[in-house]
Amino acid sequence: MSHDLFGEVLVQRPRSPLRRLLTAASVIFHAALVAAIVVIQVFAVGPLPLPQRPLIFEQIHSVHLAEIPVAAASRASSNRSTTTDAVRQSVVPLVEPQGVAPETSLAGVAPPGSGIPGGVEGGVDGIGSIGVTEKAPAPPPAAAAPPVPVRLHSGIVAPKKIVDVTPPYPQLAQTAHVRGIVILEAVIDSRGNVTDVHVLRSVPMLDQAAIDAVRQWRYTPALLNDRPVPVIITVTINFSM
């Protein structure tokens, strides 16, 4: 019997022998289990791997080059090249000339009146005479480049409009009460047709109507030195309500 801090009485029961036995058995069992786990981990690694054997060149085989017979055609070609070299060497003069003879014609080319109509007399390097040489046909003349359009200036007879198309007033522009002046630059070719039109001053809702109308206009050709030439003109179209 004992007393706690608050004065209460605490009663302790004596431990029985069976409980002590069970405690000892539990301690022994857990100790054996831990030992078994440690032993298993140690022996589970197995034997260490053997080191790899280094690469050793134990035997070296020597290679013998066999003599390859040369074909008869190759020998013949080599003999022919040797003969050609000898002939070329024999052509080179070995004695200093006493003077320079006047030229009569090109070297190796038969002069006029020698009976050979053309080609090289005797051929070149063992090749037979070429014979009569024919002149290659002359190439066709290059097509003349189209004339470049020029701006109107003094000396040019200005073109005159012969076909006029009035630009339509777009309905959307009328509804929005859009008005203004569209300035275009047009190219008139040598036949009086309008070939190119681009805008210099724009009114976005009216530009396309003006371009479509100007493309349908026709003119008399502009003349420079009595010859028709393409020219560049400026067109002003006023859209008003």
Give tens-digit pLDDT for 107-159: 555 555 555 444 555 555 555 555 555 667 878 877 777 789 999 888 999 99
Give the number of other CB atoms < 10 A from CB of residue 102.
4
Q: Which domain range does residue 217 map to?
A: 150-239
Tens-place pLDDT, residues 10-38: 444 555 778 888 888 888 988 888 888 87
Neighbours of 109 (CB within 10 A): 13
CATH number at residue 220: 3.30.2420.10
Residue 224: pLDDT over 80: yes
Count: domains in the chain: 1
Q: What is the pLDDT of residues 61-115, one digit of tens each?
A: 455 555 656 555 555 555 565 655 555 555 566 677 777 777 665 555 555 555 5
CA–CA gap between residue 140 and residue 157 (Å, rounded): 35
- Residue 140's pLDDT is 81
Q: Give dist(CA 182, CA 237) in Å, integer.
A: 5
Q: What is the pLDDT of residue 180?
A: 94
Residue 174 covered by a domain: yes
| Distance between CA atoms of residues 92 and 81, nearest Å | 17
* Residue 151: closest CA among 159, 142, 160, 139: 159
The dihedrals phi and psi of 141, each to the nearest 5 degrees, come to -65, 140
pLDDT tens profile 196-215: 999 999 999 999 999 999 99
Q: What angle do CA 6, 11, 14 make, to 5 degrees?
A: 145
Instruction: Tell me if 111 is assigned to some domain.
Output: no
Which of 32-46, 80-94, 161-175, 179-193 bottoms out in mean pLDDT, i.e. has the lowest? 80-94
Q: Is the pTM of this model over 0.95?
A: no
Residue 136: C-alpha distances to residues 105, 117, 124 (Å): 23, 17, 22
120 assigned to some structural domain: no
Average pLDDT over residues 41-46: 64
Tokens of 240: 């008003």
Asked if the structure places residue 124 within a domain, the reply is no
Cβ neighbourhood burial of 231 (10 Å; 0-12, 13-18, 19+): buried
What pLDDT shows up at residue 57?
46
